[in-house]
Amino acid sequence: MRLSRYFLPLLKETPSEARIASHRLMLRAGLVRQSSAGIYSWLPLGLAVMQKIAAIVREEQNRIGALEMLMPTIQPAALWQESGRYEDYGEEMLRLKDRHGVAMLYGPTNEEQVTQIFRDTVRSWRDVPRLLYHIQWKFRDEIRPRFGVMRGREFLMKDAYSFDLDEAGARRAYHKMFLAYLRSFHRMGLTAVPVAADTGPIGGDLSHEFVVPVASGESELFCHADLLTLPPPAEVPEDAAAAAAEVERFTQFYAASDARHDAAAFARRVPKAAQFCARGIEIGHIFYFGEKYSAPMGCRVQDESGKSRALHCGSYGIGISRLVGAIIEASHDARGIIWPWAVAPFRVGLVCLQPQDDACRRQCEAFYAHAQAADIEVLYDDREERAGPKFHQLDLTGLPWQAVIGPREAAAGQVELKARASGARRTLPWQEALVQIQSPPPADFGSQAAGAV
């Protein structure tokens, strides 16, 4: 993509209301613009990141057999009255009436909606288990929206729902989702710690949050340090016992947010040298709530003996739009964003230092054409602009690779490559540079070698 044709409105000054790094950088780097309090328009660069995140989440959901669907944003209030949650949910729910006076609401979550769908279509034990999910916008009328997309009113969420005949089956679904979440966050370059959590308005008696340690976090995290380096499974086991054993690898360690922290248990269970304390951001939340919705809403099937049974259910949420902010909080420096490879909106930012120089421009055009032919996502700064603002924008937008071609590089048939995260640089023949930028910057990039700067 040529920057001269792209829509990337940068801000020179940080708006006064932006108090945390992700909010400041998302505004300054042209990812979002505020529409009203807690509601944002997603501009092309921000949308590209959000789509990369959604693709990872979708792949991991599909991998464990979850089936994608799409439910409406506006739901009938009657469904929530059936479950008993309509009055309990509080003022965060946006309630409205249509032109016929029918009470409706802008869905903050979809337990009732999906339970109705399942209730009206499934009758037999042969139709379970099932895992259903969708990626849809939600609305919660926060009393004080703040911190940009981290605590907004409108947000994009992946929410999944499991339906099983009994508790054993429901816990197996819960364990599979637990492990799929760890794999998803790991692929995004995040360290996510699973902690036992309160169930809140969703209900049930089993719940975990996934928390990323960052300085700007909303809550405090206390855990065994080994949880920060424990790798997720290479695959999510299909076997129930194997999945439970994988979950036990993580839950055997002490981990709690401040709401459930037990200082005495922490001191007893975690050696002093392994005690980790930090602020953290919640990026995912999973629940097992049994028959909480299926029983009052009549979501039942006949088991093998012909007995009618309410299904055991769970729900599983990931804040897709919130993750954009969380990733920035976990990966930035004083100059701007540092995108992890898997979610970067472009792989490389290409800068033509002197577009008015024929040789420089030709070399950039050739490099850009070859990169596109190799399916490498390039943001090509072809503008008639000074070098300083171009370099500033490269750092601010945080693409993993920076490729610079000036008259000197053009004359030698070379490209100066820089890894955004480490700042390491090398000057390479442009063919070698094309190969290099097809993969994430390696740890030893920039070490002294032939052609190094």
**Total of domains in the chain:** 2
User: 116 with 231, same domain?
Assistant: yes
User: 302 with 372, same domain?
Assistant: no
Beta strands in 311-413 (DSSP E): 312-319, 332-333, 336-337, 348-352, 378-381, 401-405
271, burial (CB in 10 Å: exposed 0-12, middle 13-18, buried 19+): exposed
User: Could you list the residue range(s) of the whole structural domain that residue 216 is in?
Assistant: 3-337
CATH code for the domain in which residue 17 is found: 3.30.930.10
Q: How confident is the model at residue 90 (pLDDT cuts 50, 70, 90)?
A: confident
User: 130 with 248, same domain?
Assistant: yes
Residue in 148, 188, 151, 138 with CA at minimum distance from that of residue 315: 138
**What are the φ/ψ torsions at residue 443 (nearest 5 degrees)?**
-60, -30
Please identify, among 337, 368, 399, the residue that sits at the C-terminal boundary of a domain: 337
Residue 326 lies in a domain: yes
Q: CA–CA separation, 330 vs 95, rounded Å?
A: 35
User: 309 with 431, same domain?
Assistant: no
Residue 449 lies in a domain: no
Residue 390 lies in a domain: yes
User: 52 with 149, same domain?
Assistant: yes
Residue 168 lies in a domain: yes
Please identify, among 288, 305, 337, the residue that sits at the C-terminal boundary of a domain: 337
User: 404 with 293, same domain?
Assistant: no
User: 159 with 191, same domain?
Assistant: yes
Q: How confident is the model at residue 223 (pLDDT cuts 50, 70, 90)?
A: very high
**Percentage of the chain with pLDDT > 70?**
97
Could you write out the DSSP letters of every residue in 339-350? --GGG-S-SEEE
Are 70 and 137 contacting, i.e. CB atoms less than 8 angstroms apart? no
Residue 450 lies in a domain: no
Residue 189 lies in a domain: yes
Residue 453 lies in a domain: no
User: 317 with 209, same domain?
Assistant: yes
What integer is the mean pLDDT of 6-22? 90
Predicted local confidence at residue 450, as pLDDT: 40
Q: How confident is the model at residue 369 (pLDDT cuts 50, 70, 90)?
A: very high
The crossing angle, in degrees rounded to 10, of helices 320-330 and 21-28 is: 100
Q: CA–CA separation, 10 vs 25, rounded Å?
A: 10
Are 266 and 276 contacting, i.e. CB atoms less than 8 angstroms apart? no
User: 151 with 243, same domain?
Assistant: yes
58-73 as b/e: b if 16+ CB within 10 A: bebbeebebeeeebee
Residue 216 CB coordination number (10 Å)? 18
Please identify, among 318, 337, 356, the residue that sits at the C-terminal boundary of a domain: 337
What integer is the mean pLDDT of 274-289? 95
Q: What residues contact residue 286 under an 8 Å CB cut-off, 6+ apart?
A: 174, 177, 178, 181, 207, 208, 314, 315, 316, 317
Mind listing the pLDDT tens digit for each residue in 120-174?
Answer: 999 999 999 999 999 999 999 988 888 899 889 999 999 999 999 999 999 999 9
Q: How confident is the model at residue 72 (pLDDT cuts 50, 70, 90)?
A: very high
Mind listing the pLDDT tens digit for each residue in 38-57?
Answer: 999 999 999 999 999 999 99
Mean pLDDT of the chain: 93
Count, residues in the chain: 453
User: 313 with 350, same domain?
Assistant: no
Residue 448 lies in a domain: no
Q: Which tokens hold the place of 311? A: 């299904």
User: 382 with 328, same domain?
Assistant: no
Q: How far apart are the first and last CA of the chain?
A: 28
What integer is the mean pLDDT of 420-429? 95
Beta strands at 378-381 and 348-352: parallel, antiparallel or unpaired:
parallel
Beta strands at 94-97 and 275-290: parallel, antiparallel or unpaired:
unpaired
User: 275 with 351, same domain?
Assistant: no
**What are the φ/ψ torsions at residue 128 (nearest 5 degrees)?**
-125, 155
CATH code for the domain in which residue 353 is found: 3.40.50.800
